Amino acid sequence: MTPELMQDNARRLEEYQFKHVQAPASGGRSAAFSRIHTPGELDLAHGRILYLEDVNVSFDGFKAINHLSLDIGVGELRCIIGPNGAGKTTMMDIITGKTKPDSGQVFFGSTIDLLRHNEPEIAQMGIGRKFQKPTVFEHLSVFDNLELALKTHKGVTASMFFKLQGEQKDRLGEVLQTIRLENEVTRQAGNLSHGQKQWLEIGMLLMQDPKLLLLDEPVAGMTDQETERTAELFLSLKGKHSLMVVEHDMGFIRQIAEIVTVLCDGAVLAQGSMDDVQQDERVIDVYLGR
């Protein structure tokens, strides 16, 4: 690796850790860690991993989220559909601490008030988010990408030279199989197909063993075969993890759906099985079309 590449990787790792892991850029665990005010154990006794209650957000007077209430079961794979501008991405921004609502409640399990935590803390507590565009480290191998994503609580330099412990090696092997990249371990991430890059990024989230995964339009730009494999991947993740998947690809949604929530104008318009929502006149009017 050239020094420029090293520097570039270090910078990108820092960005990545800020977004996905609480690990501070330098100075070990102290700075970011001490900001977590006794986060408490995740309490799943009521069977719900996430509760949103009467949440409201306005941007310059425009109500992007409008009295939104919704909850998700432990181990559930929840699909979210709805027209552009419905507030789907904004809802994920609220859950992950990127946007603070004007009012309402957002709880992780029944005791963790997410509105009291910032983005890195929320990632650290076990909520992983996949953005639409893949953000893997193109110059690094598949293996190195997964290794970097481990929850090390180390600084950037330490992370780059960090050696895997046995248990973590096992996890890396498992994740490689789950995302079906076990034959691409040494391949440079930049040379993977678009779909493979998306799976690698999901693998990077899985290395942190998240309780809840938020996936925003994960199959956009994928081939039919990649979409099919992604459906299988998500079905294999549910139960072990809870998932919230936003997608426009109805064939994909049909393949993975249990409960589908339809968002419109910042609130829940309809919710139920795929068949229920597909037959709902209001959903047909605002989203599915006639």
Total residues contacting ligand ADP by CB under 6 A comes to 10
Phi and psi for 208 in degrees, rounded to 5? -90, 5
Question: Minimal distance in Å, beta carbon 263 to ligand ADP?
Answer: 6
Q: Which does 84 bind (CB under 5 to 8 A by kind): ligand ADP, Mg ion, none?
A: ligand ADP
Q: Which is nearer to ligand ADP, 12 or 78 (CB)?
A: 78
* Residue ranges in 192-211 that form contacts with Mg ion under rule CB under 5 A: none
Is 84 an interacting residue with respect to ligand ADP (CB under 6 A)?
yes
DSSP string, 73-86: ETT-EEEEE--TTS
Beta-sheet strand order (sheet of 103-108)? 62-73, 48-59, 103-108, 112-113
Q: Which is nearer to ligand ADP, 82 or 101 (CB)?
A: 82
Tokens 């936003």 found at: 246
Tokens 């919704």 found at: 70
String marking each residue 184-223 x if it binds ligand ADP according to CB under 6 A: ----------------------------------------
Q: Which does 85 bind (CB under 5 to 8 A by kind): ligand ADP, Mg ion, none?
A: ligand ADP
Is 86 an interacting residue with respect to ligand ADP (CB under 6 A)?
yes
SS3 at position 248: coil
Q: What is the DSSP letter of 208?
A: T
Distance CA 288, CA 224 (A): 21
Question: Minimal distance in Å, beta carbon 79 to ligand ADP?
Answer: 13
Is 89 an interacting residue with respect to Mg ion (CB under 5 A)?
yes
Is 90 an interacting residue with respect to ligand ADP (CB under 6 A)?
yes
DSSP string, 183-211: T-TTSBGGGS-HHHHHHHHHHHHHHT--S
Distance CA 219, CA 252 (A): 8
Stretch that binds ligand ADP, among 48-56, 86-94, 126-134, 140-148 (CB under 6 A): 86-94
Stretch that binds ligand ADP, among 11-19, 79-87, 103-111, 133-141 (CB under 6 A): 79-87
Distance CA 211, CA 225 (A): 28
Total residues contacting Mg ion by CB under 5 A comes to 2
Q: Which is nearer to ligand ADP, 119 or 184 (CB)?
A: 119
Distance CA 160, CA 152 (A): 10
Tokens 């994928």 found at: 222
Identity (one letter) of the amino acid at 202?
I
Q: Which is nearer to Mg ion, 19 or 139 (CB)?
A: 19
Is 39 an interacting residue with respect to ligand ADP (CB under 6 A)?
no
Stretch that binds ligand ADP, among 30-38, 77-85, 123-131, 204-212 (CB under 6 A): 77-85
Distances in Å between the alpha carbon of 20 and those of 42, 50, 96, 229, 239?
18, 19, 10, 25, 22
SS3 at position 181: coil
Question: Minimal distance in Å, beta carbon 265 to Mg ion?
Answer: 14
Closest CA to 92 of 213, 236, 200: 213
Closest CA to 50 of 60, 42, 59: 42
Is 64 an interacting residue with respect to ligand ADP (CB under 6 A)?
yes
* Interacting residue ranges for Mg ion, rule: CB under 5 A: 88-89
* Interacting residue ranges for ligand ADP, rule: CB under 6 A: 59, 64, 82, 84-90
